[in-house]
Amino acid sequence: MDLILRPWRREDVEDVLRYANNDKIARNLRDIFPHPYILTDAEGFIESCIAADEEEQLFRAIEVDGRAVGSISLCLGSDVYRMTAELGYWLAEDYWGRGIMTRAVRRICWEGYDRWEDLVRIYAQPFAHNTASRRVLEKAGFQLEGVMRESVCKRGRVYDSCMYALLMEDMDWYERERDGGETH
């Protein structure tokens, strides 16, 4: 299954609307990701991705079989966090369990480290109960740095979240995969 990470296009609106309108996705993301997900949400999301300054943010469509089936991003920090970037992502439920997101995470991390020469750390903060997302990060080489107890509130409930990070030095698989070698 071919996977392409590419910039968002306005014609992706129908795919975003189709795949993002899923409560199983929304319940594991920040409140900015709505449910139900309507046409104006899809249009606004894509416009914000297109308008983003790539010196500070990378927003990519995850394309599989010619369709935009998910989203992945890196956003640089500022001030004392200027050498870090936050990773965020979602994937259409029809594509879960196929290794797509792990591959997409690795690719955007390559792009981030290649693009931003001062970048030393990429981090993600999934909800602790989101075992699938945590597994994606672990398979992509991220290290669990800790569990932040009662750190997020989603739909009126308080949950733990996890801090995962990938440092450049953790990317021992990077050169092998970039050169076409096998990794696990």
Q: Which of 106, 104, 109, 145 is nearest to 128 (CA)?
A: 145
Residue type, 62: I
Q: What is the pLDDT of residue 183?
A: 38
Q: What angle do CA 143, 145, 147 make, to 5 degrees?
A: 125
Q: What is the pLDDT of residue 171?
A: 77
Q: What is the pLDDT of residue 78?
A: 95
Domains of the chain in start order, with CATH, are 3-178 (3.40.630.30)
Q: What is the pLDDT of residue 175?
A: 52
Q: Return d(Cα 93, Cα 102) in angstroms, integer.
A: 15
Q: What is the pTM of this model?
A: 0.91
Q: Which residues of the chain have pLDDT under 70?
A: 172-184
Q: What is the pLDDT of residue 39?
A: 97
Q: What is the pLDDT of residue 178?
A: 53
